Amino acid sequence: MYDEVLLLKLGEVVLKGLNRRRLEDLLVKNVRTALRGCGPVEVRESQSTVFVEFDQENPDVDAAVQAAKKVFGVLNLCRAYRGSYDWETLKRQTADYVAPQLNRAKTFKVDARRSDKKYPLDTPKICMLMGEHLLNEFPHLTVDVKNPQVVVTIEIRDGNAYVHTAPEKAAGGLPAGTGGHGMLMLSGGIDSPVAGYVMAKRGLKLSAVHFESPPYTSERAKEKVLTLAKKMSVYTGPVHLWIVPFTQIQEEIRDRCREDLFTVIMRRVMLKIACKLAREQNAGCIITGESLGQVASQTLGAIQCTDEAADLPVFRPFIGTDKQEIVDIARDIDTYDTSILPYEDCCTVFTPKHPKTNPKLEEVLKEEAKLDLDALTKDLAFEFIRVKPWDN
Ligand code: ATP
Ligand code: MG
């Protein structure tokens, strides 16, 4: 076993009382999934910390750190050295392991935690003796307990001694899957992949549905959605994606319904199909990237008309969020550059010149009744794709 390990510290998970065991089990499973591309590893939980141990010589620890940092439910992460239980050996190992950081620093302090009460030294003793040793080894250093440049932490637990410096911030949130299962309406735009990301961060497992309208929308538009789903899945875990052929439905709406209501009727039909699919897949809610007032279909009136078509709760995490804030997250999670590629989305096909910005439900229902929705939605040939973060 390699002598470097990762210690993942849990966030809100530890507060969840009775459910804690289940949340921790899911988190361990999600960490294993996230590290699939990082070679053989062992992942286990003990005392509110998830341990990642490497089962090979010279593993790519950097890659594992990057992947583990993205797992929801992990508050922060330490790259640590598993040192000896023997104090004299541990002193030597600690000085070696933290040498690169201490060589660059002027001040430091030692911090210690000991859950193993059988260890011969208590925490003040560990801090004092290790501090002395490091001062001897690195005479240019001084101790600063208030504001040190480097904190060397020694954790004695489970019959091992772990050495690390400052933890790195990780994704936070709750483990994906602990809050149920949601169906994301995924367009090729900026907002919907980010909406999926933030809801997965609150513990939802994600499936996704995308509507396409070939030949009005291209193969490249679909590729773009697959790329977005994949980038999102790096955080959310694998995503089941359904692609729904929407051309005929859109043409029927265009041919039969009032032009100014085209968009709201189209969105209602999308939502109905999404709800039906969600129920079949045991998902309990729909997620969209809508934001109040962003476009004509996202006025209060339009949202009232759209919502009426749903028989599941519709989560719109960005309803009160400015575009720029959504863009900032999209950049952080690396979906932005893909989202702005200029391929047609089915929403921009047949858009009316003057969409009604405050449609009334009554008139919308009257127009929608001109469609034979049962026949139109009965035998849709969905395409199903499993999107996994580790596939090329
Ligand atoms: P986005 O940036 O997410 O595309 P948008 O600002 O372009 O959003 P709309 O086109 O009105 O806004 O779409 C609003 C929401 O409807 C999207 O966030 C998404 O959840 C859903 N949606 C739109 N188009 C599609 C599609 N082709 N397939 C699946 N869902 C869609
Ligand atoms: Mg869109």
Tell me the per-residue pLDDT of 203-217, one tens digit each, with 9 for 90 and over: 999 999 999 999 999
Tell me how crowded residue 252 is: count the other CB atoms within 10 A of its CB: 18
Residue nearest to atom 12 of ligand 1 (CA): 290
Q: How many residues does the chain have?
A: 392
Residue nearest to atom 4 of ligand 1 (CA): 189
Tell me the per-residue pLDDT of 290-341, one tens digit each, with 9 for 90 and over: 999 888 789 999 999 999 999 999 999 999 999 999 999 999 999 999 999 9
Alpha carbons within 13 A on the beta-carbon side of 149:
11
Residue nearest to atom 20 of ligand 1 (CA): 288
> Start-end ranges of CATH 3.40.50.620 in the chain?
181-387
**Phi, psi dihedrals of residue 284, rounded to the nearest 5°:** -105, 0
Tell me how crowded residue 234 is: count the other CB atoms within 10 A of its CB: 19
CATH 3.30.1490.20 fits 4-169, yes or no: no
Amino acid in position 243: I
Q: Name the closest ligand to CA 338.
A: 1
Q: Is the per-residue pLDDT at 16 higher than 80?
A: no
Alpha carbons within 13 A on the beta-carbon side of 145:
6
Residue pair 238/33 in contact (Cβ under 8 Å)? The answer is yes
Distance (Å) from CA 259 to ligand 2 centroid = 19
Report the SS3 class of residue 89.
helix
Q: Is 23 in the pocket of ligand 1 (CB under 6 A)?
A: no
The CATH homologous superfamily for domain 181-387 is: HUPs (3.40.50.620)
Q: CA-to-CA distance for 271 and 273, rounded, in angstroms?
A: 5
Distance (Å) from CA 314 to ligand 2 centroid = 17
> Start-end ranges of CATH 3.30.2130.30 in the chain?
4-169
- Name the token pair of 4: 């470097």
Q: Is the pTM of this model over 0.85?
A: yes
| Poorest-pLDDT segment among 130-134, 173-177, 329-333 | 173-177
pLDDT at 20: 80
pLDDT at 18: 52
Q: Where are the alpha helices (DSSP H) in 237-322?
A: 247-256, 262-280, 300-307
Sign of the C-alpha dihedral computed for residues 226, 228, 231 and 236 taken in this order = negative
